[in-house]
Amino acid sequence: MKPTFHIVQTTVAPPEAPPAHEPGGWWLRAQTPDGRLLGTLHGLPEQGRSRARCSFHFGRVVHSAPELGLYQVQTTLQLGHDATGEAELSGLFLSAAAEAPEAVADALLQAALARLADADTPASWVIAELPGWRDTAGCSPFWDGLVRHFLPPGSLDAADAAQRHGPAFSSHLGEMLPRELIHAAFLSPAAQQALGRCADSHTTWLAALQRAGFADWRHGRIEDGGPLLAAPRRAGERRR
């Protein structure tokens, strides 16, 4: 039998949850009648108002010469601020004690999307970014294969740097990464395979977002290549 829980809106971040990417917005808590926390989610009607937010757009370049039998498609990365002004979901957390984490994630997402659909914001999309894949040692192949090469010598690894800078980490990092088009073919095989791949710790959230109508937005987090997913903000547009 699924546990009984309800959704509570608050402006206070639950201590168990990861930090929101920007101040403002609201928090949703999934909790049992006796107050036991099962999951959290932070909603922001418009991101990029407090500080610049960067992501990599995953594009394609095609080399084609039919007379030579040549046809090749390569992935490219372009640093930019494409999600600026869109609504955002962050602070995704599911308690290990939740008996039905899928149901908790679904309920939080439904409640968040309903609130954002009625929000006074020019945003057309709701964006959710998920952490990128890491190996058994907790290292990000994307960080090791691309990002750290543009940082000062002796820079911390991704996890330590994120902990030091907090939610402003991606903005700080974006100032040091190249604005020129990057061809993924020049990255290590491990870094290429990490592009748009979700961390194992967030696969439940990935599945829940897909059930809620989110799809791959062809963007990745700049620190670890984790996927950005998007859904139309208004409920009527999601039904079409």
Per-residue pLDDT band for 21 (boundaries 50, 70, 90) equals confident
Q: DSSP states of 91-130 as a string? A: EEEE-TT-S-HHHHHHHHHHHHHHHHHTSS----EEEEE-
Q: Report d(CA 183, CA 45) in Å as an integer.
A: 33
pLDDT above 70 (res 1): no
Per-residue pLDDT band for 2 (boundaries 50, 70, 90) equals low
| 60, containing H or E segment | strand 55-65
Residue-wise pLDDT for 80-106, tens only, equals 999 999 999 999 999 998 889 999 999
Q: Report d(CA 100, CA 13) in Å as an integer.
A: 22
Q: Report d(CA 171, CA 55) in Å as an integer.
A: 10
CA dihedral sign of residues 209, 94, 54, 25: positive
Residue-wise pLDDT for 168-187, tens only, equals 778 888 888 999 999 999 99
Q: Report d(CA 149, CA 173) in Å as an integer.
A: 12
Residue pair 206/128 in contact by the 8 Å Cβ criterion: no
Mean pLDDT of the chain: 91
Q: Report d(CA 187, CA 92) in Å as an integer.
A: 30
Residue pair 125/230 in contact by the 8 Å Cβ criterion: yes
CA dihedral sign of residues 50, 56, 59, 63: positive
Residue pair 164/98 in contact by the 8 Å Cβ criterion: no
Residue-wise pLDDT for 53-88, tens only, equals 899 999 999 988 888 888 989 999 999 999 999 999
Residue pair 90/44 in contact by the 8 Å Cβ criterion: yes
What pLDDT is recorded for position 164?
A: 73
Prediction pTM value? 0.91
Distance from CA of residue 218 to its chain's centroid? 11
